[in-house]
Amino acid sequence: MHQALLVPEVLLEIFAYLNTIPSKTTSTLKLFAALARTCKIFYEPAMDVLWTEIHGLEPLLGCVTRLHPLIDRRGTMWDCDQSWAKGVEPLSAREVHQFLRHSFRVRALNIQSYHPHLLSVIPAEAYVFPRLKSLSLSITYLNLFLPRMLHRCHLSSVDEGLQSFVTRCIALEHLCIHRTPGIHDIGNTANELSLLSDRIRWCTRLVTLYCPMLDWETWKHLSHLPTLLKLEIDRGPEYEDPPSLSNRDLVNLSFLNITSLSFLQLYNSANIIIVMQHSQFPSLKNFKFQAFYLSLEEAEQLLHALSHCKACRTLEEIIICCLEVRRELEYPEFLTPTPHLLCFTQLRTLQLMFTDFYIYLDNDLLLQAMSIWPHIRTLKINYSDASMSSSGSEVTLHGLFTALSLCPHLHTLQVPINTAIIDVDPDAEPMQHISLRSLELETSDPEIADADAETLAGIISAWLPCIDRVRNMGRSWHEVNVHLISLRAATAPYDVEAS
């Protein structure tokens, strides 16, 4: 054996590297199991790697001599099949030592099923996993799995165990609470959310937080956390009674260091808009808002609040989308979001999708926006209802190509366009845009005439040399794409010779 392998630091570096390389002939687990059996020097570091991350408690329970045959015959279906534990006697004091043989090595633990009666002999205050850093838990039994140095935790239920959770895990940095429907009675959700808000106010070192809607006192607590960088509120369909925000309690808040802010699966946007109207995010880079329904008035309020949250110099990504159509419009309603968004000079991604009103866009607005967003890489303005796609658009081909000349980094573009008039001369010298790779154009015309299709294909081929087809929800651009494919095939040999 080479002398270098006797140096623990060198051996750990080698094992860490081996753990990152996928093997075609054997699994990583089998590789380190073999290394552990090779010699005494390899045993400890190899076993640490083997037990770093486990899914379920069955690997540890399998170390108990009496339980090993029951678990081994089930193969690897540990989390799916829980029947093996029915009627099995709890662990004895001697067997607990077998169960804990390797628990001190575990750094990451994912538990989808749990058999509490088996571990009833272990006292609740025991630290079974003293070096655990990451925990994902879909059960309500927390006490055995909470070392003081736990950094990351993913829970799918809310219960009284949260009290011991936040007081014992003093180093917690990443908390995700994603309630699984069906675990609790829907009628208890209001109490759960109140309990959750109360417990989160005990957490003082959070870096990332993913949870349902919070009350205003908790929002104020989070605004004072200098460590908090990412906040994601997922209301979820299972929470029917979120905390209400009282006007008498509202004060202006400043979240100095949050860089990523997301609101997902919202059934009622009013509370979130209130939060945005009373908050500042001077470091914000990413903003995502996903609602099942958003009225025209709420959309205006949200955009206005976003433009006044002090993120004009930092915000790089904005995604706002609605998921459901709630009503049929007797008269068209238009939203003009561009003026609200012109303050964000560092914008890289803008994605807007609304269902119950039109987004108005014309050549002047598009040109103005592109002149202010020189770093833009993705621009998507689309509708879930294809029939609405270009109803509010006055963007023409000439306006589109003029705007494209101002954003050399644009990679993905999806906008409604008016093809009633082709205002680009097919024989004019094109200003080619070479970074655009994905183009989706929506038009109100169900079909484009053959003559226009050929002309459009020629123009797109000349001005956008990296676009081989126009993506579309319907069939209006089908003929254009047929001509585009022919043009690309005809020029391909010349392109190869040129290269």
Three-class secondary structure assignment of 332-374:
CCEECCHHHHCCCCCCCEEEEEECCCEECEEHHHHHHHHHHCC
Q: Number of C-alpha atoms within 13 angstroms, CB side, residue 180? A: 12
Virtual torsion, Cα 412, 339, 444, 477, nearest 10 deg = -10
CB 49 within 8 A of CB 13: no
Structure tokens at 228: 């908090």
pLDDT at 437 (0 to 100): 96
CB 364 within 8 A of CB 339: no
Angle at CA of residue 238, ends 232 and 240, nearest 5°: 95
CA distances from 355 to 22, 237, 275, 328, 358 (A): 45, 19, 23, 10, 8
Q: Which residues contact 332 (CB under 8 A, 6 or more apart)?
A: 357, 358, 391, 392
Domain ranges of the chain: 1-50
CA distance 102 to 49: 11
Q: What is the DSSP letter of 471?
A: B
CA end-to-end span of the chain = 53
CA distance 420 to 366: 18
CB 272 within 8 A of CB 233: yes
pLDDT at 155 (0 to 100): 79
Strand partners, 468: none
CA distances from 133 to 15, 142, 172 (A): 20, 14, 9
pLDDT at 162 (0 to 100): 66
3-state secondary structure of 36: helix
CB 437 within 8 A of CB 466: yes
pLDDT at 390 (0 to 100): 47
Q: Residue-wise pLDDT tens for the chain (499 aa)?
A: 777 777 777 888 888 888 777 765 557 778 888 888 888 888 888 898 888 888 888 888 888 999 888 876 654 444 445 677 778 888 898 898 898 888 889 988 888 766 777 888 887 666 788 888 888 876 555 666 667 678 888 877 666 666 666 666 777 899 888 765 544 444 456 677 777 888 888 888 999 999 888 888 899 999 999 999 999 998 755 555 566 666 666 789 999 999 999 999 888 888 899 999 999 999 999 999 999 888 899 999 999 999 999 999 999 999 999 887 766 666 668 889 999 999 999 999 999 998 888 888 999 999 999 999 999 999 999 764 544 444 556 899 999 999 999 999 999 999 988 888 889 998 889 999 999 999 998 887 767 777 788 999 999 999 999 999 998 766 778 889 999 999 888 876 555 444 4
Backbone angles phi, psi at 249, to 5 degrees: -95, -10
Q: Which residues contact 177 (CB under 8 A, 6 or more apart)?
A: 154, 155, 156, 158, 196, 210, 211, 212
Structure tokens at 210: 């993913």
CA distances from 485 to 83, 467, 480 (A): 58, 10, 9
Dihedral sign from CA coordinates of 399, 400, 404, 405: negative
3-state secondary structure of 223: helix
CA distance 67 to 84: 9
pLDDT at 409 (0 to 100): 96
Structure tokens at 220: 């104020």
pLDDT at 25 (0 to 100): 55
